Amino acid sequence: MNIDAALARRLVAGQFPEWADLPIAPVTPGGWDNLTLRLGPGLLVRLPSAARYAAQVEKEQFWLPRLAPLLPLPIPAPVAMGEPAEDYPWPWSVYEWLEGEPAETSRIADPVRFADNLAGFLEALHAIDTWEGPPPGAHNFDRGGSLAVYDGETRRAIAALGGRIDVAAATAVWEAALAAPWSGPPVWVHGDFAADNLLVRDGDLSAVIDFGCCAVGDPACDLAIAWTFLEGEAREAFRARLPLDPGVWARARGWTLWKALIVMAQLPGANPHDADASHRIIDDVVAEHARVSRQAT
């Protein structure tokens, strides 16, 4: 859809006239699953970009206020939920504005401390009572669910990349992940714990955003950040803070590999902005799997 500031302005004016006079402007980056626009100095408008993301709106509206008091960092705070209107067919949200910039290496003062804070956030999230939290499913693309959902897609991507990657090594990583199913109790997962969803202020982690893929399930999907963003001592600090068994890390490598493969192979649903880093991520995951396998024997 053609989602822009003009559409957002019409939606806000029609449903929340108290904010009709506030300026609306796109933000950068503006989002992939949802388009984000700033509304005045203290609010933002968040509009799903396709039908498959629309179910996340009500879920976030209900659960984020319940999760927020139990977490060590700010997360998005819903202010209002809009309804379909003005030729826009899905529900949408107004949130409080959170100050900060998306995480980039150049913005982080101490990578090891940053990694430890990331792990601390996940520890707190995973410890929250799951109560009647939503299980993985179509609403969050099975994040926190079984990797087997993506088996066919992953193998197609591996085959499509023959000659560009080590097919046998990538297949070994994937099959090791499938062979280590989750058997523990479900925990809360963010579902898209990626650099674009981490905010930084004054060199430190300041907030975690975009809980559209949250659910209760297997924590392995939240660990991909270890390879997609962290490296060296920071990666080791992240791992050391989280008391998780080798099977969880095997599945985490599987989640990381799946995403990097589909992006590199340009399969449907992959964000093309991530393509440049995919080959490095695949190499890192393959190398770590080989190292872990040698140590196990």
pLDDT digits 0-9 by tens, 98-136: 999 999 999 999 999 999 999 999 999 999 999 999 999
151-160 and 246-264 helices, crossing angle to 10°: 50
What is the reported pLDDT for 2? 80
- The DSSP code for 224 is G
Write out pLDDT tens, residues 204-234. Answer: 999 999 999 999 999 999 999 999 999 999 9
What is the reported pLDDT for 276? 72
Closest by alpha carbon to 54, among 92, 85, 86? 92
Q: What average pLDDT does the chain have?
A: 94
- Which distant-in-sequence residues (6+ apart) come within 8 Å of 112 by Cβ? 233, 234, 237
What is the reported pLDDT for 269? 59
Q: Which domains does the chain have, with CATH numbers?
A: 5-98 (3.30.200.20), 102-296 (3.90.1200.10)
Write out pLDDT tens, residues 197-207. Answer: 999 999 999 99
| pLDDT-wise least confident of 94-103, 250-259, 263-272 | 263-272
